Amino acid sequence: MQNPDILKVDLQDRSYNIVIGSNLIKNLGQFIPSLIKNTSVIIITDQNVADFHLTKLVHALDAEKLAYSVVTLPPGESTKRFSHFQNIISKILDKNPERSTSLIAFGGGVIGDLAGFAASIILRGINYFQIPTTLLAQVDSSVGGKTGVNSEHGKNLIGTFYQPKGVLIDTSVLATLPKRELLAGYAEVVKYGIIGDKKFFEWLEINGEALIKGDEGLQKYAIMESCRAKAKIVNQDEKETGNRALLNFGHTFGHALEAEMGYNSRLLHGEAVAIGMLLAFDLSVLMGFCAKEEATRVQKHFLSMGLPTQLDDIFERNYDSEVLLDHMRRDKKVKNGQLNFILTRGVGNAFITSEVERDSVIEVLNRRAKNSIFPIE
């Protein structure tokens, strides 16, 4: 095992490390915080992750002589419904946790969000530790302390800010991830280049295909850069009162698409964000903030990688732009009755604005049904 890289999320008494490297789960004892040692652990995972990786984790816990139990959930976004959450809490409480007990979120973004939310409310707050197993969770949802569940009113409208005590990112687990899941996570990786790092986006244009094919060195670099970018923003704005909202680029549109699809496996979160980012570019071009060549460049990259780019790629029937806009109005980014958008002046230069006309949003939603607002020639 090579020495891992370590990044710090610096939040004073809520600070923690992000440890990134290969085959880290097997050597868990070297990296888990001392506060998890000498206590009991409850692993929260899903059936898919359990089938591939749970044995490796429990062997590592056995080596540390840690007492543990396991709660295994069904995989997929549908597990993240508020209506299911009480059952999840009951399963955890059946394990008789104490305030010294720690949860380990061992899975993708759904598991991380659920375990984090549970940890924040069980016994008025217990410790938890993130071991993300998808690219999306490794570069985004495991870092920053956002937890939550979906409801019929929208995505992640019920939840807390509750920081983990550490994040362990084992890049070797990505070898078992289906290509579609890798691509969904890759969309979040690209987001970091788009919102504030043009050189990173250029690097992805060159290396993205090899990264998806499984080059672990490239994967580790992309994860490092993504986590570094997110940690920097979270350090400055933990509770999203300012620039942390930039991390939502593509998400205002994307969450509306997920809501309309019913939060199921027909549309992965990263796929929705990919289309959402292109819609944000469309809107930025329409409003005169961004050159159409920038929008076309990003769309070409998504097409070359195999990411969805059109609304027709995901909807099997005609959709109603007004209904999508209604979903957007329920988003957490509404402030004083105004919906905030994350738009762009070009790759590497995102910004926040509430000065967006309703008709402009409807126009870009309608135009991306069949073709881009600026179709590739």
Bridging pattern class, strands 167-170 and 16-21: parallel
User: By the 8 A CB rule, do 345 and 284 touch?
Assistant: yes
3 state DSSP class of 40: strand
Residue of 181, 188, 205, 271 marked active site: 188
The DSSP string of 273-301 is HHHHHHHHHHHHHHTTSS-HHHHHHHHHH
Catalytic residue among 269, 327, 332, 333: 269
Spot the catalytic one: 205, 225, 238, 240.
240
* Burial label, 160 (beta-carbon count in 10 A; 0-12, 13-18, 19+): middle
> Comparing C-alpha atoms, which of 258, 294, 259 is closest to residue 372?
294
Residue 269 designated active-site: yes
Q: 251 catalytic, yes or no?
A: yes
CA 179 to chain centre: 17
| Annotated catalytic residue within 3, 124, 355, 377 | 124
- Specify whether 297 is catalytic: no
Catalytic residue among 248, 333, 340, 368: 248
CA distances (Å), 8 to each of 20, 181, 296, 362, in order?
A: 11, 27, 36, 41
**370 is known as an active-site residue:** no
Of the candidates 80, 191, 220, 255, the residue annotated as catalytic is 255
156 as an active site residue: the answer is no
The number of residues making up the chain comes to 377
Pairing of strands 149-151, 334-335: unpaired
User: Pick the catalytic residue: 53, 80, 165, 244?
Assistant: 244
Q: Is 244 a catalytic residue?
A: yes
Instruction: Confirm whether 53 is a catalytic residue.
Output: no
- Tell me which residue of 261, 349, 333 sits closest to 341, measured CA to CA: 333
Q: Determine the residue type at 36.
A: I
CB 318 within 8 A of CB 260: no
Dihedral (CA of 215, 2, 111, 236) sign: negative
Q: How far is CA 53 from CA 47, 208, 361, in A?
A: 10, 26, 43
Active site residues: 124, 146, 188, 230, 240, 244, 248, 251, 255, 269
